[in-house]
Amino acid sequence: MTMNSGYGKQDKVWAWLLLFPAVASVFSLLFVPVVWTLGAAFTDLHLFRIGVPTSFVGFANVTKLLSHQAFWRTVKNTLVITGVAVPLEICIGLLVSVCLNTITRGKKFFRTWFLLPLMLSPVIVSIVIGKMMFQEDIGPINELLRYLGFKGIKWFTDGSWAMAAIVIVEVWHSSAFMILMLTAGLLSIPEDLLEAASVDGADGVQGFWFITLPLLVPILATAVLIRTLDTLKIADIVFVMTGGGPGQATETVSMAVLRAGVKGGDLAFAASQAYILFIMMLLFGGGFLYLSRRSIPRV
């Protein structure tokens, strides 16, 4: 008994020693910045105000933020991009993954082909697909439109078209993740279920609607949660393609934080903006998990 007890204590000690680097990394890289940012949101901390002591201002930044129309415009832009891009990614991912699961020839080639955007950096995608393809004067898309007799589209000088271009690039780049998740989900579905449904007289549409889709719901919910939270903090594609313009038509919350904190130096106001984004993501994530747990049946 003594030997087993001693071995158990030693095992726990080694376990904590091995876990300590990971725990310390998570604590220093996640918990500390979150707490520091929360504290900064209640001060007048400024990056470029050297020699002036930082003071506690309470809810002054929050009050300023509530009446800051430019910031709430960025919230609207963020929600529009997320609300349009994520449903499109779901539809494209579901359609492509079902087609890839159905075809018999070239399956490996097309799976690799459709996953290529996932291997590319969003910045590279924004430059090659965004800046070059949607270039208004000599871009191939406008050149094709002019060849067909249409006028070229003002992709970067019109706010609505600039938003559409961002959504197109975001969907092109991120649909690969949805395809990957849903393809893995389809491969995990036993073929015996579909064969049994076929024997009972169900056609392909009925088999998909009543068997395949319900079994895909858990992994689909996970993919939607990940993609929505990731799109809510979109900044790289917007920064490279439009820089938030024209004007402020495509600026997102993450870009507003960057502009206020890094470029403007107002770290306190940027921190308050960042926490609005954090609260948005927390509310959506918590609400989505709550609803999914209640609606998705447990196996």
Annotation: CATH topology of 68-295: MetI-like fold (1.10.3720)
Instruction: Tell me the pLDDT tens digit for each residue of 44-84.
Output: 888 888 777 888 888 899 898 888 899 999 999 999 999 99
Query: Of 99-113, 161-175, 201-215, 280-294, which range is least confident?
Result: 201-215
Facing residues of 56 across strands?
Answer: 43
Tokens 């609300």 locate to 83
Q: Which residues of 53-88 are buried (b: 16+ CB within 10 A; e: fewer)?
A: eeeebeebbeeebeebeebeebbebbeebbebbbeb
**pLDDT value for 12:** 80
Q: Look at residue 163 in the predicted model and tell me its pLDDT.
A: 95
Burial 217-238 (b: 16+ CB within 10 A, else e): eeebbebbbebbbebbbbbebb
Residues pairing with 43 in the sheet: 56
Phi, psi (deg, nearest 5) at residue 177? -65, -40
Residue 113 clears pLDDT 60, i.e. is over it: yes
pLDDT bracket for residue 222 (50, 70, 90): very high
Q: CA-to-CA distance for 106 and 104, rounded, in angstroms?
A: 7
Q: Provide the percentage of residues in the chain whose pLDDT is more than 90.
A: 40
Chain mean pLDDT for the chain: 87
C-alpha to C-alpha distances, 268 to 29, 253, 274, nearest whole angstrom: 19, 15, 10
Nearest by Cα to 172 from 85, 96, 244: 85
φ and ψ at residue 201, rounded to 5 degrees: 105, 5
Q: What is the pLDDT of residue 31?
A: 85
C-alpha angle 220-174-70 in degrees, rounded to nearest 5:
105
> What's the average model confidence in pLDDT over 152-164?
93
pLDDT at site 68: 87
Q: Tell whether omega for the bond before 246 is within 30 degrees of 0, i.e. cis.
A: yes
Is a pLDDT exceeding 50 seen at residue 1?
Answer: no
pLDDT at 168: 95
Q: Note the pTM of the prediction, 2 decimals.
A: 0.87
Among 74, 89, 47, residue whose Cα is nearest residue 261: 47
* Confidence band of 203 (pLDDT split at 50, 70, 90): low
Q: Do the beta carbons of residue 275 and residue 45 sit within 8 Å?
A: no
One-letter amino acid identity for 35?
V
Measure CA 7 to chain center. 46
Q: Give the integer Cα–Cα distance in Å for 123 and 292.
A: 33
Q: What is the predicted pLDDT for the residue at 53?
A: 83
User: What would the pLDDT profile of 226-267 be if each residue is shown by its tens digit?
Assistant: 999 999 999 999 999 998 888 889 999 999 999 998 888 889
